[in-house]
């Protein structure tokens, strides 16, 4: 149905250009990115639920609410412009206005996005001074520069693009994302920007994005922290001849492709989780309802004792049972089955089914499967998390020094 494009990025989609450079917000690395569409785009968006929303998030929410057709996204890393009050809002707006003027757009066609340290005022002069150069560098091969420029504690950039074939014709979806710490459901310190060349109504585009985010970025956790800046923006520029309409097979295909792309980026973010050495795929199965399944998965994804046990390559299933048991949910403790790396460890009746040393051996892998079967219904969920290492502590104890 769809296939990934080698070294694909947000600029693999017709009509989208990007650039990225070092402006001086960060000491050395790239810190400023621009995504530009040659034509008007429908916008779909999801934002953090944190009460302390960063200034650029508030600006984005308004543009999204107004239903504006957008053209450009300016993103800086190194400074989140969060908890910066009225001055922070003015700073975000002045970057927005300045870029709009340079590109001959209206203000509302320009989105802004920030990630980095909280509570520090943005040095707008540095950003504004760099805009001509940033615009000058715009081209359809520079998605990777933009992906690099939005990184904070990320150790590698995240870019993907895929192509969907529909009866001889095709369209594309491209994306870049960042995220490494402060990762938890309901959007984390993560930004993702997605482009596509389909023609689609805003409400349907939003519906597809919401479902994709729910099944990807909202099911990952690194440290249970929720950021002030999380943003996913999806721009559709209609430049392909493919129109996607409600209740069609084409819409289902588009959603499938979008979900797959979002999951790829979500898993990349977990894989790059601060200090992590392993990625843990959590499958919670046969629950009474989806809320319970997600509650259990989230608890396991955030348990320090489970995450440290996996880091220590110790199949400490007692900590898994104990974490499930700590939740305010109804279940029969004797019905719970646990599998680690597909080995049955605890079967119905709380029976230990395997010598742990066999499982410990398999924990040397970098991708760990943790399956919990509750046997109380038919609902399942899938989450991703990391182990927890000394390096996470080191990164976050000395983040600002």
Give CA–CA dist 318/103, Å, rounded: 59
**Per-residue mark of binding to its own copies, 104-133 (x: CB under 8 A):** -------------xxx--------------
- 323 contacts its own copies (rule: CB under 8 A): yes
Nearest residue to 359 via CA among 351, 368, 350, 372: 368
Q: How far is the CB of 346 from its own copies (least distance, A)?
A: 8
> Any contact of residue 362 with its own copies (CB under 8 A)?
no
Size of the site for its own copies (CB under 8 A): 61
* DSSP secondary structure, 213-250, as one string: HHTTGGGEESSS---S--EEEEEE---SS-B--TTSHH
Among 302, 341, 381, 385, binds its own copies (CB under 8 A): 302
* Nearer CB in complex with its own copies: 361/390: 390
Helix axes 317-325 and 290-301, enclosed angle (nearest 10):
130
Map the footprint of its own copies across residues 146-175, applying CB under 8 A: none
Q: How far is the CB of 277 from its own copies (least distance, A)?
A: 10
- In the complex, minimum distance from the CB of residue 105 to its own copies, in angstroms, rounded to a whole number: 31
Q: Is 67 in the site for its own copies (CB under 8 A)?
A: no
3-state secondary structure of 211: helix
Whole-angstrom distance between the N-terminal and C-terminal Cα of the chain? 48
Element at 304 (helix H, strand E): helix 304-311
Under rule CB under 8 A, residue 217 binds its own copies: no
- Considering only the stretches 4-12, 177-185, 202-210, 369-377, report the one whose residues sit in contact with its own copies under the rule CB under 8 A: 177-185
Q: Tell me how far apart the alpha carbons of residues 175 and 236 are, in angstroms, rounded to a whole number.
A: 12
Q: How far is the CB of 221 from its own copies (least distance, A)?
A: 11
User: Which residue is listed with tokens 């943005």?
Assistant: 122
Beta bridge partners of 176: 159, 193
Tabulate helix, strand, coil % of the chain (nearest 5): 35, 30, 35
The answer to whether 241 and 191 have CB atoms below 8 angstroms apart is no
How many whole angstroms separate alpha carbon 41 and alpha carbon 68? 9
401 is catalytic: no
Integer Cα distance of 319 and 139 in angstroms: 51
Q: Which residue has the tokens 């080191």?
A: 394
Please report whether residue 80 would count as binding its own copies according to CB under 8 A. Answer: yes
Q: What is the DSSP letter of 109?
A: G
Under the binding rule (CB under 8 A), the answer on residue 23 touching its own copies is no
Q: Is 321 in the site for its own copies (CB under 8 A)?
A: yes
3-class secondary structure, 155 = coil
Report the residue from 138, 324, 363, 373 that binds its own copies according to the rule CB under 8 A.
324
The residue from 18, 21, 182, 191 that contacts its own copies (CB under 8 A) is 182
The DSSP bridge pattern shows strands 343-347 and 16-21 to be unpaired
Output 129 or 391, the one with its CB closest to its own copies: 391
Q: Closest distance between its own copies and the C-beta of residue 363, in Å?
A: 11
Nearer to its own copies, 105 or 305 (CB): 305
Interface with its own copies in residues 221-240 (CB under 8 A): 223-228
Residues 339-358 that bind its own copies (CB under 8 A): 346, 349-352
Q: By C-alpha distance, which of 329, 325, 11 is closest to 140?
A: 11
C-beta of 150: minimal distance to its own copies in Å? Answer: 19
Among the candidate windows 25-33, 169-177, 318-326, 376-384, which touches its own copies by CB under 8 A? 318-326
**C-beta of residue 268 within 8 angstroms of C-beta of residue 192:** no
Contact 171, 12 (CB under 8 A): no
List the structure tokens of 392. Answer: 């996470």
Please select the residue that binds its own copies; options are 14, 316, 344, 347, rule is CB under 8 A: 316
Give 36's strand partners: 17, 72
Residue in 85, 245, 248, 348 binding its own copies, rule: CB under 8 A: 85
400 binds its own copies (CB under 8 A): yes
Return the range that interacts with its own copies (CB under 8 A); candidates 22-30, 156-164, 280-288, 304-312: 304-312
Cite the active site residues: 189
Residues that bind its own copies in the complex, under the rule CB under 8 A: 49-53, 80, 82-83, 85, 117-119, 181-182, 184, 186, 223-228, 302-305, 308-309, 311-312, 314, 316-319, 321-327, 331, 333, 346, 349-352, 388-390, 392-394, 396-401
């Amino acid at each position: 149905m769809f296939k990934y494009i080698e070294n694909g990025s947000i600029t693999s989609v017709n009509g989208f250009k990007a650039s990225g450079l070092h402006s001086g917000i960060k000491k050395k690395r790239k810190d400023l990115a621009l995504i530009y569409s040659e034509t008007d785009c429908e916008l779909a968006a999801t934002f953090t639920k944190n009460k302390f929303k960063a200034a650029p998030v508030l600006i984005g929410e308004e543009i999204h609410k107004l239903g504006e057709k957008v053209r450009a996204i300016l993103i800086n890393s190194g400074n989140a412009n969060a908890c910066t009050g009225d001055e922070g809002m003015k700073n975000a707006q002045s970057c927005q206005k300045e870029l709009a003027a340079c590109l001959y757009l209206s203000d509302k066609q320009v989105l802004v996005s920030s990630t980095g340290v909280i509570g520090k005022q943005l040095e707008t002069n540095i950003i504004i001074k760099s805009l001509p150069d940033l615009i000058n560098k715009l081209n359809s091969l520079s998605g990777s520069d933009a992906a690099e420029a939005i990184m904070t504690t990320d150790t590698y950039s995240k870019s993907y693009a895929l192509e969907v074939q529909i009866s001889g014709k095709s369209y594309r979806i491209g994306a870049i994302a960042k995220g490494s710490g402060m990762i938890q459901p309901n959007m984390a310190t993560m930004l993702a920007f997605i482009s596509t060349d389909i023609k689609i109504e805003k409400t349907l585009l939003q519906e597809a994005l919401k479902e994709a985010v729910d099944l990807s970025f909202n099911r990952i956790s690194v440290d249970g922290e929720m950021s002030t800046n999380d943003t996913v923006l999806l721009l559709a520029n209609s430049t392909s001849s493919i129109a996607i309409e409600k209740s069609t097979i084409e819409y289902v295909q588009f959603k499938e492709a979008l979900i797959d792309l979002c999951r790829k980026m979500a898993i990349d973010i977990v894989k790059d989780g601060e200090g992590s050495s392993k990625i843990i795929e959590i499958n919670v199965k046969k629950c009474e309802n989806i809320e319970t399944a997600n509650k259990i998965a989230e608890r396991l994804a955030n348990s320090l004792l489970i995450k440290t046990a996996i880091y220590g390559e110790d199949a400490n299933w007692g900590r898994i049972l104990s974490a499930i048991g700590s939740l305010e949910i109804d279940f029969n403790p004797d019905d719970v089955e646990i599998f680690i790396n597909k080995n049955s460890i605890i079967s119905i009746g709380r029976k230990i089914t395997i010598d742990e040393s066999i499982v410990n051996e398999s924990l040397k892998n970098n991708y760990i499967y943790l399956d919990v079967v509750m046997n109380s219904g038919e609902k399942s969920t899938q989450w991703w998390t990391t182990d927890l290492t000394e390096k996470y502590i080191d990164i976050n104890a000395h983040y600002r020094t």
